[in-house]
Structure 1
Amino acid sequence: MPFLYDMWPTLVANKILKKRLGSTNFIADYPSSYEQPLLDCADIDHHSHETIPNHLKEKHKYKVFVSTWNVGGIAPEEDLNIDDLLETNNNNSCDIYVLGFQEIVPLKASNVLGSENNEISKKWNSIIRKSLNKDQRDKVHCKSSHDDFQCIISKQMVGIFISVWTRRNICPFIQHTSVSCIGCGIMGCLGNKGSVTVRFQLHEASFCFVCSHLASGGREGDEKCRNSNVAEIFSRTSFPKGPLLDLPRTILDHDHVILLGDLNYRISLPEETTRLLVEKRDWDSLLENDQLIMELMNGNILRGWHEGPINFAPTYKYCPNSDIYYGCCCHGNKTQKKRAPAWCDRIVWYGKGLKQHEYNRSESRLSDHRPVKAMFTAIVKVLSEFKSLENMSLSERFEQINTPFEVSATDEIVCRKQSSFRL
């Protein structure tokens, strides 16, 4: 302990100084058939799009899957099956998958203050890859270079981890990938709480996904700390302007924005009342007292944001490896914090052109939280010439693209600096 106290100022300073806002310091896959990555490079100048007549543009619908899961610091086994979460067994796969996690490592001092341990995030990406590409592998017995889904962004900050995957045939049309990490935890700056936000542009639409873990606590007034975390995340998150200084810089500048995570909002009722209503499955009475819903209705945070109807049981807090809520299975221990059930894990969205089709939970017993998932349709403007290219093989595309615009030198530099290797 004396060593920790002596090293505290240095450790804190290093963690703060190493936080890079709007950086390309993340992990991603790239098509192996090209020497240079296509992300951020196969781009028509964003400003030039505005001069192209609308009759040369079409609207295309992309299916977007989003999930959030607090895994409680439990490392996954290599054979963990997440097909139920991703719904890969129903032949209804999406075009984009965004998976957000919280507490992928225990939130102890060595993890919060020490160097980042990426071994667990690599395990999660391996599990995601296996689930998303299972059918593809079974059909052709191929190597991973032929995976139907590839990772375009993967970023960890302490226990917060987000991983974004897209169909391989749309990877060349994704540009301006970037991440921004905001710590709101210890001393108001460390990463045990906070957000990892990722953004990219698909054709002419910008997407932004905010994976968050907000302040915990079930006492009266704790929701104000969570509101403060949200305000900090939205005010401090920023992205590069781009070579022509016209790319979205803040979260709300983007066309499609989705906030996901363990937002930690509780139910403002006595614990006994909450448990009784949960036992009766009276979701309506519980949701009337849900802190996040009340904060949204009162306009205290996230004005203009949307959340789909909640028709599933509270996702927090369960006894280990069971379907019993924490506190129900140990009535004799009066000193134990019982922590009433709550919908801590949420997905909300902002912006036109997003339509939600599903909002539900999955039933994995890995941690004391249940995963939550949502499916959306996103409307994206696509140049008519490029839309036909999505059905071609990757090797045919550059031969077919004939455009008067050139890739800027700045974008080339971004490509070379960006980390690009397979997990």
Structure 2
Amino acid sequence: MSRMQGLLLLVFAKYFHLPFLRGVQTETTRTGLGGYWGNKGGVSARMSVFGHTICFLNCHLPAHMENSDQRMEDFESILQQQQFEGQAATGVLDHDVVFWFGDLNFRIDDLEMQVVKSAIDNNKYSMLWEKDQLNMAKDSETVLEGFQEGPLKFSPTYKFDVGTNTYDTSGKKRKPAWTDRILWRLRATAPAGAALNAGKRGSISGLTSGTKVTQHCYRSHMEYIVSDHKPVSSIFTLQFPYKVDVPLVTLIVEDEWNSIADATAIFKVAPNYSRSSWDWIGLYKVGFKHHKDYVGYVWAKQEEADFQRQEHQVTFTEEELPKGSGDFILGYYSNNMSTIVGVTEPFQVIIPGQNLLLTSLFSLFLSLSVLPAPQQATLL
């Protein structure tokens, strides 16, 4: 997660991908009021995914029709300021794949209000694309080279009267525009960007190394009326050859824990993994959202005598187990890498003794609830 005033970026991943998401870093850049205010700017999250570098950049750029040049200047400033640690992909555009999105605030030039609304009413969006400031900037701004966007086949997403699907009827009467956008960029590896240019107008783009981005849909959501903007969404498939396909830590656990004695796990570490004495293994409910959402955890301690061992075992005590049954996952958290580097498949925890306490408390509650009113008052 990366957050700044007015900007929030959340990245979710399926649990079985977690061991292959490495080098996660975030950055924020304020551009409002000369860099002092966070209502405008950019937030980013970068990571290595199966050995390929990916960066997500969410921006809120300056508003108003006449500020197209200022939007480009702010975008370039964000790119220059956002630098990441490590030898690979130190800047946003150094990544193999970049997704750039947000309230970019680009407007439709030249055309009068009635012309724009008539084009919208008649679904003649193509005549508006030609006057869209972002589309025009792609032909002149070097920093936008390689950025692609799916066709804008939905109505402009700004500006609406709040609570309606009616374009601005206030005294300002803002001209409709596609302010909310989602673009992507693949780092060129072919000579002169040949692979990028070949698919520039399509919904599929790829690198000569085999990386491919496919956009399946790009749409707005008119049903949301709490803002003067309409949100946009897009679904992509990202395909690339594996560079990393073996987790740094392999966790082995039984399919079920039926007693406290079953609450053990075995883990194996890869030869190239550097352990820390602060590494731990967390027990997570299926559907967890953060590495700190564990039900319980145990330290993945390493004694001096363990250095030559291939397998290590940990045991969860009764206090570290859930108080009810359900489906759970074990995850190995690396302190050095600040991420989960190994997970199990989901398994069931069904420990009768743990459920007995809840059953007894529930029975007690039922017993108290049927007592006559005076006795209830006395008990309280």
Greater fraction strand: 2
What is aligned with 2:274? 407
Query: Helix, strand or coil: the match of 2:2?
Result: strand
Aligned mates of 2:146, 2:13 — CA distance in 1: 28
CA-CA distance at 1:347 after TM superposition: 0.6
Aligned residue for 1:192, secondary structure, equals: strand
Which has the larger Rg? 2
Aligned residue for 1:355? Answer: 214
- Quote how far apart the aligned CAs of 1:305 are: 1.1
Task: Specify which of 157, 182, 202 is matched with residue 315 of structure 1.
Answer: 157
Task: Identify the match of residue 240 of structure 2 among 337, 357, 380.
Answer: 380
| Residue in 1 that maps onto 2:374 | none
Residue 229 of structure 1 is matched in structure 2 by: 74
Give me the whole-angstrom Cα distance separating, in 2, the residues matched to 1:293 and 1:189. 30
User: What amino acid does structure 2 have at the position aligned with 1:317?
Assistant: K
CA deviations over 1:286-312 (Å, ceiling 9, x no partner)? 111100000012235411111111111
Q: Tell me the secondary structure at the aligned position of residue 137 of structure 2.
A: helix
In 2: Cα distance, 1:401 partner to 1:168 partner:
19
Which residue does 1:108 correspond to in 2?
A: none
Change (3 A) 1:395 1:281: farther
Within-5 A mapping of 1:125-204: 154-204=1-51
1:305 corresponds to: 147
Which residue in 1 is equivalent to 2:318?
Answer: none
Query: Any runs of at least 4 consecutive aligned residues in structure 1 with deviations exceeding 6 A, and if so which?
Result: 392-396, 408-411
CA–CA distance in structure 1, aligned partners of residues 226 and 125 of structure 2: 24
Correspondence for 1:290: 132
- Take 1:395 and 1:415, find their aligned partners in 2: how far apart are those partners? 27
CA offset at residue 393 of structure 1? 8.0
CA RMSD in angstroms comes to 2.7
* Cα offset, 1:172, TM superposition: 2.2
- Matching residue's letter, 2:180: D
Match of 1:98 in 2: none
Q: Which of 25, 46, 57 matches 1:210?
A: 57
Counterpart for residue 93 of structure 2: 252
1:44-63 CA-partner distances (Å, limit 9, x unpaired): xxxxxxxxxxxxxxxxxxxx
The normalised TM-score by structure 1 is: 0.54
Q: How does 1:261-280 map to 2 (within 5 A)?
A: 261-268=102-109, 269-280=111-122
d(CA) in 2 for partners of 1:386, 1:315: 43
**Structure 2 partner of 1:240:** 85
CA deviation string 1:83-142 (max 9, x = no partner): xxxxxxxxxxxxxxxxxxxxxxxxxxxxxxxxxxxxxxxxxxxxxxxxxxxxxxxxxxxx
Q: Judging changes above 3 Å, is the alpha-carbon distance between structure 1 residues 383 and 252 closer, same or farther for their aligned structure 2 residues?
A: closer
Q: Structure 1 unaligned runs (5+)?
A: 1-153, 331-335, 417-423
Q: What secondary structure does 1:323 align onto?
A: coil
Residues 1:414 and 1:167: Cα distance change in structure 2 (over 3 Å): closer
How far apart in 2 are the matches of 1:180 and 1:305?
Answer: 21
Q: CA deviation at 1:156?
A: 1.3
CA contact (8 A) 2:22 2:337 kept: no
The structure showing larger relative contact order (alpha-carbon pairs under 8 Å, at least 6 residues apart) is: 1
TM-score (norm 2): 0.60
Give 1:371 shift: 1.0
Q: Report the AA paired with residue 404 of structure 1.
A: P
Aligned counterparts of 1:223 and 1:395: Cα–Cα separation in 2: 59
**Aligned equivalents of 1:284, 1:394: Cα separation in 2:** 57
Separation (CA, whole Å) in 1 of partners of 2:81 and 2:64: 23
Residue of structure 2 in register with 1:333 after alignment: none
Instruction: Say whether residues 1:370 and 2:230 are aligned partners.
Output: yes
Unaligned 5+ residue runs, structure 2? 187-206, 256-264, 279-333, 340-380
Give deviations 1:302-331, integer Å, cap 9, x for gaps: 11111111111101111111111112xx5x
CA distance in 2, matches of 1:229, 1:395: 53
What residue in structure 2 maps to residue 340 of structure 1? Answer: 175
Deviation at 1:355, TM superposition (A): 2.0
| Residues paired across the two proteins, number | 247
Alpha-carbon separation, structure 2, partners of 1:401 and 1:339: 61
SS in 1 for 2:128: helix
Taking the aligned partners of 1:404 and 1:395, their CA distance within structure 2 comes to: 24
Distance in 1, matches of 2:176 and 2:20, equals: 43
What is the identity percentage for the equivalent residue pairs of Structure 1 and Structure 2? 28
